[in-house]
């Protein structure tokens, strides 16, 4: 049991270290030596758990995708098949991207897929997010929660493009992930997406308090002088 717990800790440390290195350097330049050094383990211990860098990337993406699944599942359990569920999930996702290097790297690895020896076997977090947004807006459309004349497919394209755009911008500048920026996004989008009946009941700032903290590898700018 002690050996199993130690092995699980080592695996977690390697995934976290790989996430940080992938997020900082990208997949191709990242080296296994840098990852093992960041994790504080030997190269032999790394190879015991992961035969190559591609397997490490898959593990990062899988853990990030699990986190995205928890976020989206919780939003739907709270808000059902509504636009509010999508708003809430977006806020929770951006909060998580700001503080969780594994989720941040999992999204960024989608952009590095061409550099990988083999494509990932399972959908990464970005694909999981897109599929959930599409499914959520399809459900909202079927229950009459979208603006008249708006197809759920068009709505989904806009929401996915906008939210993934925040994620990409946030990889270089974490201020893009701040709650007020996500709120402004929904203040612009919701009047185009929602029915007049629902618009006044939707909360653009989300229905849950922020849990984000500044990401370590994305220092925040100093507050503006007053």
Contact (Cβ atoms closer than 8 angstroms) between residue 74 and residue 95: no
Mean pLDDT value of segment 98-102: 94
Q: Among residues of the chain, what percentage have pLDDT more than 90? A: 73
Name the token pair of 7: 């092995």
**How many Å apart are CA 65 and CA 24, to the nearest integer?**
20
**How many Å apart are CA 101 and CA 145, to the nearest integer?**
35
CA angle 198, 90, 188 (to 5 degrees): 55
Contact (Cβ atoms closer than 8 angstroms) between residue 46 and residue 36: yes
Q: How many residues does the chain have?
A: 226
What is the predicted pLDDT for the residue at 71? 97
Q: Band the pLDDT of 129: cuts 50, 70, 90.
A: very high
What is the predicted pLDDT for the residue at 211? 59
Q: 101-109 and 152-172 are packed helices; what angle lies between their axes, rounded to 10 degrees?
A: 120
What is the predicted pLDDT for the residue at 214? 43
**How many Å apart are CA 52 and CA 57, to the nearest integer?**
9
Name the token pair of 56: 């490490």
pLDDT value at 115 more than 60: no
pLDDT value at 226 more than 60: no
Contact (Cβ atoms closer than 8 angstroms) between residue 42 and residue 36: yes
- What predicted TM-score, i.e. pTM, was given to this entire model? 0.85
SS3 state of residue 146: strand
């Amino acid at each position: 049991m002690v050996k199993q717990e130690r092995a699980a800790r080592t695996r977690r440390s390697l995934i976290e270290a790989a996430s940080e290195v992938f997020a900082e350097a990208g997949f191709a330049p990242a080296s296994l030596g840098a990852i093992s050094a960041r994790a504080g383990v030997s190269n032999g211990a790394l190879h015991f758990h992961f035969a190559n860098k591609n397997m490490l990337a898959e593990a990062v993406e899988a853990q990030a995708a699990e986190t995205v699944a928890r976020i989206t599942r919780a939003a739907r359990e709270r808000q059902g098949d509504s636009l509010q569920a999508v708003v809430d999930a977006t806020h929770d996702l951006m909060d998580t991207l700001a503080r969780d290097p594994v989720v941040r790297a999992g999204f960024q690895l989608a952009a590095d897929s061409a550099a990988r020896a083999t494509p990932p076997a399972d959908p990464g977090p970005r694909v999981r997010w897109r599929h959930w947004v599409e499914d959520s807006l399809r459900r909202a459309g079927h229950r009459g929660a979208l603006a008249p004349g708006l197809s759920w497919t068009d709505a989904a394209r806009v929401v996915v493009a906008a939210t993934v755009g925040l994620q990409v911008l946030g990889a270089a500048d974490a201020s893009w992930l701040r709650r007020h920026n996500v709120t402004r996004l929904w203040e612009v989008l919701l009047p185009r997406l929602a029915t007049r009946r629902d618009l006044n009941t939707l909360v653009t700032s989300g229905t849950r308090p922020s849990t984000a903290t500044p990401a370590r590898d994305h220092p925040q700018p100093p507050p503006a002088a007053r």
